[in-house]
């Protein structure tokens, strides 16, 4: 772990007050990582990975300034958002960051501002149809399996451009970026390579005329420094703010 966050014991479960302090330390850490990568201050946003956290704990981070929440499970997204609304939580946006089953797409669309994990034409078509029925436009990211690990969801990098070509015709979806999970490895070069590959793919999309694809959702508690150096615009962070998951 890096910089200001070193002040906290990452193995401990923080109380509500410490969640706020950790969120602020995380933001300072991100600013320091941006600076050392020669990037503009504020070019990286923090997304709270809220899986298995109580609404009160998520609220503590929102009150400390967090503006973006990511959920893996649709059931937790729905319950979490309903609870936060009852708690009069500060305004925030929500993204889906876990694999989305097609039968959960309607619920996801009702509660999320962006689906980061689109990795098939079938899912994109269903989201497009549901968004159309609601008369809205939905932001999506394509999830890229940049490490090639068979256990990971996401489209293979070499198939991504074809999928983008097909999704580009779906009028109610807007391809806003790419999401990836870095290689699960102790080798920082290998982790950096998976992020670099994803960044290069975004350049390919933009060169191919998908100008809306600006975001790179990459980096978690353990590899955010590498991800920011490789151009991440959104890091998805759970443990650094909330401690080990229940």
Ligand X SMILES: *Cc1c(COP(=O)(O)O)cnc(C)c1O
Binding site for ligand X (CB under 6 A): 49, 51, 72, 97-98, 181, 220-222, 236-240
Instruction: Name the residue with the smallest CB distance to ligand X.
Output: 238
Residue 85, phi then psi, degrees to nearest 5: -70, -35
- Least distance from ligand X to the Cβ atom of residue 129, Å: 25
CB of 189 to ligand X, least distance (A): 20
User: Are 226 and 182 a contacting pair, CB within 8 Å?
Assistant: yes
Kindly tell me which of 25 and 170 has the beta carbon lying closer to ligand X.
Answer: 25
Task: List Cβ neighbours of 244 (8 Å cut-off, separation of 6 or more).
Answer: 10, 11, 13
Shortest CB 53 distance to ligand X, Å: 10
Q: Where are the beta strands (DSSP E) in the chain?
A: 45-49, 68-71, 93-96, 114-118, 138-144, 173-180, 215-217, 234-237
Note the Cα 104 to chain centre separation in Å.
18
Q: Which is nearer to ligand X, 55 or 98 (CB)?
A: 98
Sequence-ordered list of residues with C-beta below 8 angstroms from that of 233, at least 6 positions apart, any chain: 43, 44, 45, 177, 214, 215, 216, 217
Query: Least separation, in Å, of the C-beta of 66 and ligand X?
Result: 13
Q: Which is nearer to ligand X, 45 or 170 (CB)?
A: 45
| 230 vs 182: CA distance, rounded Å | 11
CB nearer to ligand X: pick between 173 and 240: 240
Closest approach, Cβ 145 to ligand X, in A, equals: 12
Minimum distance from CB of 140 to ligand X (Å)?
Answer: 15
CA distance 139 to 60: 27
CB nearer ligand X, residue 70 or residue 157: 70
Residue 38 or 151: which CB sits closer to ligand X? 151
Distance, in Å, from the CA atom of 150 to the CA atom of 11, rounded to the nearest integer, reads 29
Nearby residues of 131 by Cβ (< 8 Å), 6 or more positions away: 109, 137, 138, 172, 173
């Amino acid at each position: 772990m890096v910089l200001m966050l070193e002040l906290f014991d990452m193995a401990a479960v923080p109380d509500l007050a410490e969640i706020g302090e950790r969120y602020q330390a995380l933001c300072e850490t991100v600013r320091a990582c941006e600076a050392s990568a020669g990037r503009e201050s504020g070019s990286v946003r923090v997304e709270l990975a809220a899986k298995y956290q109580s609404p009160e704990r998520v609220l503590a981070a929102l009150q400390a300034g967090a503006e973006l929440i990511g959920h893996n499970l649709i059931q937790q997204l729905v319950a979490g958002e309903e609870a936060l609304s009852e708690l009069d939580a500060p305004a925030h946006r929500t993204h889906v960051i876990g694999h989305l089953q097609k039968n959960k797409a309607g619920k996801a669309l009702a509660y999320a501002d962006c689906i980061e994990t689109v990795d098939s034409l079938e899912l994109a078509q269903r989201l497009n149809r549901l968004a159309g029925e609601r008369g809205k436009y939905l932001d999506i990211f394509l999830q890229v399996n940049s490490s090639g690990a068979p256990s990971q969801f996401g489209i293979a990098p070499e198939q991504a451009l074809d999928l983008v070509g097909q999704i580009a015709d779906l009028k109610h979806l807007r391809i806003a970026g790419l999401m990836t999970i870095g290689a699960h490895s102790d080798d920082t070069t290998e982790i950096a390579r998976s992020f670099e590959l994803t960044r290069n793919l975004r350049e390919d999309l933009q060169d191919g005329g998908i100008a809306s694809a600006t975001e790179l959702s990459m980096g978690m508690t353990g590899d955010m420094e590498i991800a920011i150096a490789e151009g991440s615009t959104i890091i998805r962070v759970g443990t650094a703010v909330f401690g080990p998951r229940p």
